[in-house]
Amino acid sequence: MNTFGNSNLNIFHTKMVLAKKINEKSSLGISCNYYSFSQISSEYLQNFLTPEIAFYSKPVDYFSYGIHIINPVTMFQKNTTSTSIYRIGGNYTGIKNFTISSFLQKVEHESFQYYGGVEYFVNNILGLQCNISNTNQPFACGICYKFSKFESVYSAEIHTFLGVSHTISFLYKM
């Protein structure tokens, strides 16, 4: 079997999002995430769907923040193996061509996780990214390409037990 990335582990993730403006500075969104995990050596395969809700606000031109709850249905279930993930974070864009981002994440039954990053756009279509965290992916860097409503990002992460891990993402804004 041919695989992309790690020869023993493959993760596929896709997301559909619907967002609605509440007012000129805030919006609310819902999404459905589809995950497929496969572990080649043990023929392990798991597919599942998780909902997500989010609130986003941009109170001033150079700062935005958001709150996400991933898999909120588990907050109301007992004796489940699924977990909810809570995130709060913000972006600062007050420096020309730069975005500085950070967020805190809390996964149920785990300690807080911190993520921070910088994105620099060389021009209107090409950007460079660098991220740090206190998780099992402590460092990542990537390149971003924007054209009209389309955005694509390739990044390479240093993962503590997978080694170098690659991510390719695509976004189309309607």
Tell me the C-alpha distance between 5 and 167, whole Å: 9
Give me the sheet containing 163-172, strands edge to edge.
9-21, 26-39, 44-60, 63-70, 85-92, 98-107, 113-121, 126-133, 139-147, 150-159, 163-172
Report pLDDT digits (tens) over 44-76. 677 878 899 999 999 999 999 999 998 877 655
Tell me the C-alpha distance between 34 and 15, whole Å: 6
* pLDDT-based confidence at residue 1 (cuts at 50, 70, 90): very low
Look over the chain and give the mean of its residue pLDDT values, rounded to a whole number: 86
Sign of CA dihedral 164, 15, 105, 120: positive
Closest CA to 89 of 103, 101, 75: 103
Report which residue type is found at 109.
H
With vertex at residue 75, the alpha carbon angle to CA 28 and CA 132, rounded to the nearest 5 degrees, is 65
At residue 3, the pLDDT reads 46
At residue 80, the pLDDT reads 57
Give the residue, 72 or 151, on which the prediction is more confident. Answer: 151
- Based on C-alpha coordinates, what's the Rg of the chain? 17
Whole-prediction pTM value?
Answer: 0.77
| Residue 73 CB partners (closer than 8 Å, separation 6+) | 51, 82
Give the residue, 13 or 134, on which the prediction is more confident. Answer: 134
In percent, how much of the chain has pLDDT > 90?
A: 53
Tell me the C-alpha distance between 48 and 33, whole Å: 8
